[in-house]
Structure 1
Amino acid sequence: MKVTTHLRAAWAVTALSLALAGCATSGSVPPESDLFGSLSSGESSVAYSTAFPVGSPEEAYRNGEAALRAGDTDRALFEYLRGLRMEKRPQAEPLYRVGIIHHGRGNHELAGTAYRWVLDIDPRHPGAGTALGIILIQQRDYDQAERLLEPIAARREAPWQAHNALGVIADMRADHATAQGHYARALEASPRTPLVLNNQGYSRYLAGDLAGARQALRQALNANPNYDLAWRNLGLVHAREGDYETAIEAVARSGDRAKAYNDIGYISMLEGRYQDALGFFEEAMRLSPAYYVTASENARSLDQLIRRHGVEAIN
């Protein structure tokens, strides 16, 4: 029996990872006259200009690289934009650096603006194309993201992030064979990358290959023992196999035990194991008041399912 009732879980069921995250931008790229100002993010230009005079764009870019290595993103952003203002025409690479800084700081709209302008200058720029494709996936604009990422992934030295992102798109469409092909290509370019191994494992889980999923997720955790998402996904595998004790322990590695009981209860419900799920929701409520509302709503919805479908649903 397929369950279609909407229940509340404490984490996303679609546990896939991207190399970058963010919200998509909208609208066209501003004209050159005001683009640099819109990308400045309010850095102290007067103070930097006085303290660090430069005589050429190249000198400004070198200062930007040094500031970035030192972790001073305010200074780095100022230097890249100062160099760009000194150029006769916009340059793709310093604009890409501006996008990276904004993306890392969570300024996703500004990052998207920078990436789009980079692609106006150099349509084949792999870094900007991949980053913008990932932003489009976050917006769930899979078709446009795929059109942007496929030519990048087809290149001989494609960035692994492009194949990883295309794998996520394929999994979203339930085309797990294609997804796993992309993850394999990503791992060829960047072996033992935890993010890709996690996605490979989750893709195999979705395809019903529990042994393969467990293997990939274990490899992800060998590479990064503190990778919370891989622990959660490994918990899904154990829950699907009915090994609830191990599942709880795995999910609890990425959060508290009350959350683990609620999450495994949710998965048990989706698997049609209603009696087990009800017990997990009740334990989540017992362990933590913080999960009382979520777990109690899940338990109440589950009780309605059992009443609607009869005693056979419990089995």
Structure 2
Amino acid sequence: MKTSELQRTETSPAARQRAVRVGRSLCPTVLCAALLVASAACTTTSRQVADMQPVTRNSSPSSMSELRIAEAALDAGNVELATSLFDKVVQADPKSVPGLTGLGNTLYAVGDFTRARVYYQRASSLEPNAAAPLIGIARVAIHQRRFDDAISTYHGVLARTPDDPMALAGLGAALDMKGDHAGAQAVLRQALKANPGDPLLSVNLGLSLVLGGDAREGANVLLDVTRFPGAPPQARQDLALAYGLLGNAEAAAEILAKDLPKASVQDNLRFYEIQRARMAQPGGSAGANGAATSAPTMEAASLR
């Protein structure tokens, strides 16, 4: 596979808009939120993995500058520019771990998870102890619903860096998606002791509580995050979900309207109604597996 092929990958305006939705986690449905917090989870998915990329000792000043610009472009949703710059870095140094990881991130942003995994694995083979490629591999595994693989990979990262907040957030998300909400919450609560106030971990914990059936406590956790001006968008979306499952449609609609068009707000309110009805049945819950098939905007906003 030639890296220049990435220049032709999902670079239309519509594709870039999808990438922004993936990176900023604006989808308020249960599965989307759970997937995106993994990158994990994420407050953005692309930026967080990019921030952890190691810079090799033989990187030239120009390559380091290009890497920083590429990471900023990807964080801003400009996948085409990011791809071009990461590709330039890799063309100059085919063994550039940050460059290969960055190309994986651009493919991840547009939903090409299979090819993203190829670049993450190539980077990981060059630097087996580098966390960023491994976290990318785990994020792809979550999107492909290979939860055990993701959990194993996150444990491998944590064996070397036990308090890594991204790996802990991703592990919590993977456990949630597998249905182990109690396990996820234990991981996230312990992670917050080591990383107090971390918004990503708090958002994941709030969502985990909602998915586990305790929407009221989840709402309280998410309220603590959303009261800050710089709160990540997914914190608001998860709070809207919590309110929706509690039956407070008016509060949920008000929150959703800050990030979504009116039609999407109504779609999500109907989704919340479906989930409340499901939870009212014997043995019902808002768990990710049960909600995934009913999410009205999940495929468009999260998986493509």
**TM-score (norm: length of structure 1):** 0.60
Identity of aligned residues (%): 21
* Match among 164, 168, 172 for residue 169 of structure 2: 164
The AA in structure 1 aligned to 2:222 is L
Provide structure 2 residue ranges, at least 5 long, that are not aligned to the other structure.
1-26, 47-55, 71-80, 279-295, 297-304
Q: How does 1:35-74 map to 2 (within 5 A)?
A: 61-71=60-70, 73=82, 74=84
CA contact (8 A) 1:228 1:253 kept: no
Provide structure 1 residue ranges, at least 5 long, that are not aligned to the other structure.
1-9, 23-56, 85-89, 274-293, 295-315
Larger RCO: 1 or 2 (CA < 8 Å, sep 6+): 2
Per-residue displacement from partner, 1:36-75 (whole Å, max 9, x unpaired)?
xxxxxxxxxxxxxxxxxxxxx9665332102223447434
The AA in structure 2 aligned to 1:207 is G
- How many residues end up aligned between the 2 structures? 223
Counterpart position of 1:12 = 29
CA contact (8 A) 1:192 1:219 kept: no
The AA in structure 2 aligned to 1:64 is S
The CA RMSD measured in Å over matched residues stands at 3.1
Relative to structure 1, is the Cα distance of residues 112 and 260 closer, same or farther in structure 2, using a 3 angstrom cutoff? same
Relative to structure 1, is the Cα distance of residues 61 and 211 closer, same or farther in structure 2, using a 3 angstrom cutoff? same
**Shift of the alpha carbon at 1:158?**
4.3
Deviates more, 1:253-262 or 1:132-141: 253-262
The yes-or-no answer on 1:268 pairing with 2:258 is no
Counterpart position of 1:82 = 92
The AA in structure 1 aligned to 2:223 is R
Give the distance between the partners of 2:230 and 2:68, measured in 1 at CA: 27
Give the distance between the partners of 2:91 and 2:38, measured in 1 at CA: 28
CA contact (8 A) 1:229 1:254 kept: no
**TM-score (norm: length of structure 2):** 0.62
Give the distance between the partners of 1:69 and 1:117, measured in 2 at CA: 21
The AA in structure 1 aligned to 2:153 is L
Counterpart position of 1:310 = none
The AA in structure 2 aligned to 1:13 is V
Relative to structure 1, is the Cα distance of residues 151 and 261 closer, same or farther in structure 2, using a 3 angstrom cutoff? same
The yes-or-no answer on 1:219 pairing with 2:224 is yes
Counterpart position of 1:291 = none
Q: Secondary structure at the match of 2:123?
A: helix
Give the distance between the partners of 1:110 and 1:123, measured in 2 at CA: 19
